[in-house]
């Protein structure tokens, strides 16, 4: 009897081992099939060329209707027709350096502590371009990179550090327009054109001789507003500049004049942003329309630079073997919600373009899935056949643009964006789902949240947080499962005080003069003694 029992036990163990082995074999075989399927469907070769063009402050809503009707963007349209367009792509932090840190690292900004334009990735941080280079790609990065610590103006960093000091100072120049040149002036942003020329010359004269695939990154400044020179060297970008040539690409009759809430109905953080951006005075309808028209004209000039890259790839016969991706670090409010610039979770600021074309990428596909900049890292690596690190926040887009629906892998049905920089007096967290946009602040208690139903309120003028407590609780629980945002807010608050105090000590006796002459100087000097004391009181519990 004992022998029979042992024999049955051995047989059961063998059966379990066989079943486990078969399951493991099936999982590995299926994974290999998935990889082979992606490569055969998306790639003409195992390693395609990769070209990423990243603009600055390009509103993603211009890449699909009805937004695309307002300005002629022939090369974005070309990419859309031959490739795949993401209708719900978002910046992970709507400001230059942190958003780019997320794109280059594939990680949310709270994981890399990319708090503001001065504090981002370490200079030795590994990027997806580093991964491609290590796997044999010839790599070249041109133009605006802006993802490592130490950059931007002193004013910008001090405004970020002191954002929760209880004073209210205008930090930007009033947004204005500047018409230059004539109807033949194409090259307004000469800096961007020069770097675009370098990129196209490299494609035409260097890439064809390579024995290995290449990866090219081109970073543009446009359509970011220009610095207002009359306000000094530290001035922010409050000038929308273009020429008659590009303004002809804009359909003035399609320009919408955004509705504004009265000051009394504005969320306190939105009012702070509007004030510090110098947008709380009166603006005529003509002023608003012109600012928006000039912004769209700047987008048209950006599109032409993208077109130069496309033409170079086509002329050299490389277009059919190259994955081309166009995106931006964030959008531009262009006077929506009584603001310009970014630094906000409203659609104009946080919604970015993301269009991909290339061998095997579905043509004319418009995707409604929620995606963000952190998804670019694993996407590029999968195209190159490189496994993604386990600590990244993004998910590859390849299953969405190359595979049929039955092969699509699970991905989150939400996106996260967070903001910790200047022109907002608290940390901001945004969780976007298919219907809702949930925006919460600081510790989740001291500042009231906002909730927008984007299915019925695309202009984001109706904060319905007080009417949907159940939705708020559900979304807040989901958000906390992604990021312990009260703890992150405390971390940022402590960093701000430490960084400011270190900067103040470095100035010694020059501190009073320097801080009074930053770009908030007009308001600061109205009551300099009060403002210095406000900072002293803010630091009193820290020093």
- What are the catalytic residues? 96
Write the DSSP symbol of residue 218: E
Number of other residues whose CB lies within 10 A of the CB of residue 77: 15
**Cα(110)–Cα(102) distance, integer angstroms:** 10
* 222 CB-near residues (< 8 Å, 6+ apart): 55, 56, 57, 189, 192, 298, 299, 301, 302, 305
What number of helices (H) and strands (E) belong to the chain? 18, 15
CA distance 35 to 429: 35
For residues 252-285, one letter each, b for 16 or more C-beta atoms within 10 angstroms of the residue's C-beta and e for the rest, the string is eeebeebebbeeeebbebbbbbbbbbbbbeeeee
* 352-127-413 Cα angle (round to 5): 45
Q: Indicate the DSSP class of residue 60.
A: G
Identify the helix (H) or strand (E) that includes residue 23: helix 2-42
Dist. CA 410–CA 251, nearest whole Å: 41
Helices (H), 221-375: 244-247, 268-276, 285-315, 347-350
Q: Where are the beta strands (DSSP E) in 6-83?
A: 49-55
Among candidates 191, 151, 44, which has minimal Cα distance to 421?
151
237-242 and 322-328 strand pairing: unpaired
Q: Is residue 33 exposed (0-12), middle (13-18) or buried (19+ Cβ within 10 Å)?
A: exposed
Cis peptide before 223 (omega within 30 of 0): yes
Distance CA 242, CA 248 (A): 11
Token representation of residue 433:
């789902």
In the block, residue with structure tokens 């074309």? 357
Query: Is the CA virtual torsion 511, 512, 517, 522 positive or negative?
Result: positive
Question: Pairing relation of β-strands 436-441 and 237-242?
Answer: unpaired
Instruction: Give me the half-sphere count of Cα atoms (radius 13 Å) on the Cβ side of residue 220.
Output: 33
* Nearest to 358, CA basis, from 332, 389, 380: 380
Let me know if 431 is exposed, middle or buried by CB neighbors in 10 A (0-12, 13-18, 19+): buried
């Amino acid at each position: 009897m004992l022998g029979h029992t042992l024999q049955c036990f051995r047989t059961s163990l063998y059966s379990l081992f066989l079943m486990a082995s078969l399951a493991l074999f099936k999982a590995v075989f299926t994974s290999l099939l998935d990889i082979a399927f992606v490569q055969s469907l998306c790639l003409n070769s195992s390693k395609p060329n990769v070209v990423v063009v990243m603009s600055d402050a390009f509103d993603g809503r211009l890449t699909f209707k009805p937004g695309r009707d307002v300005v002629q963007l022939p090369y974005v349209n070309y990419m859309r027709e031959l490739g795949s367009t993401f209708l719900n792509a978002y910046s992970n932090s709507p400001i230059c350096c942190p958003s780019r840190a997320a794109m280059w690292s594939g990680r949310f900004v709270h994981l890399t502590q990319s708090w503001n334009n001065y504090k981002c990735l370490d200079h030795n941080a590994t990027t997806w371009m580093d991964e491609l280079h290590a796997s044999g790609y010839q790599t070249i990065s041109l133009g605006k990179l802006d993802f490592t610590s130490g950059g931007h103006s002193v004013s910008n960093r001090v405004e970020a550090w002191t954002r929760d000091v209880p004073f209210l100072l205008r930090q930007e120049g009033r947004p204005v327009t500047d018409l230059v040149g004539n109807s033949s002036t194409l090259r307004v942003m000469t800096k961007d054109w020069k770097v675009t020329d370098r990129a196209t010359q490299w494609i035409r004269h260097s890439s064809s001789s390579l024995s290995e695939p290449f990866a090219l990154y081109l970073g543009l400044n446009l359509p970011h507003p220009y610095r207002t020179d009359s306000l000094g060297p530290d001035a922010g970008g409050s000038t929308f500049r273009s020429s008659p040539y590009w303004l002809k690409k804009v359909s003035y009759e399609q320009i919408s004049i955004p509705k504004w809430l009265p000051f009394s109905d504005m969320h306190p953080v939105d009012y702070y942003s509007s004030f510090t951006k110098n947008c709380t005075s009166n603006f005529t309808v003509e002023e608003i329309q012109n600012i928006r028209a000039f912004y769209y004209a700047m987008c048209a000039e950006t599109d032409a630079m993208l077109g130069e890259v496309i033409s170079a790839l086509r002329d050299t016969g490389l277009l059919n073997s190259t994955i081309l991706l166009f995106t931006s670090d964030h959008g531009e409010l262009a006077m929506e919600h009584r603001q310009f610039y970014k630094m906000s979770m409203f659609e104009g600021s946080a919604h970015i373009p993301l269009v991909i074309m290339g061998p095997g990428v579905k043509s004319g596909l418009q995707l409604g899935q929620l995606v963000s900049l952190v998804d670019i890292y694993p996407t590029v690596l999968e195209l190159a056949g490189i496994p993604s690190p386990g600590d990244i926040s993004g998910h590859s887009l390849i299953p969405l643009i190359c595979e049929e629906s039955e092969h699509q892998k699970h991905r989150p049905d939400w996106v996260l964006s967070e903001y910790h920089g200047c022109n907002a007096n608290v940390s901001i967290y945004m969780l976007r789902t298919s219907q809702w946009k949930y925006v919460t602040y600081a510790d989740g208690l001291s500042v009231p949240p906002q909730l927008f139903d984007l299915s019925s309120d695309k202009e984001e003028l109706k904060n319905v947080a007080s009417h949907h407590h159940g939705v708020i609780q559900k979304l807040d629980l989901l958000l906390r499962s992604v990021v312990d945002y009260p703890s992150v807010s405390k971390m940022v608050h402590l960093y701000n005080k430490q960084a400011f105090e270190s900067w103040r000590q470095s100035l010694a006796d020059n501190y009073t003069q320097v801080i009074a002459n930053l770009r908030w100087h007009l308001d600061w000097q109205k009551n300099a003694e009060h403002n210095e004391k406000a900072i002293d009181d803010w630091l009193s519990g820290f020093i």
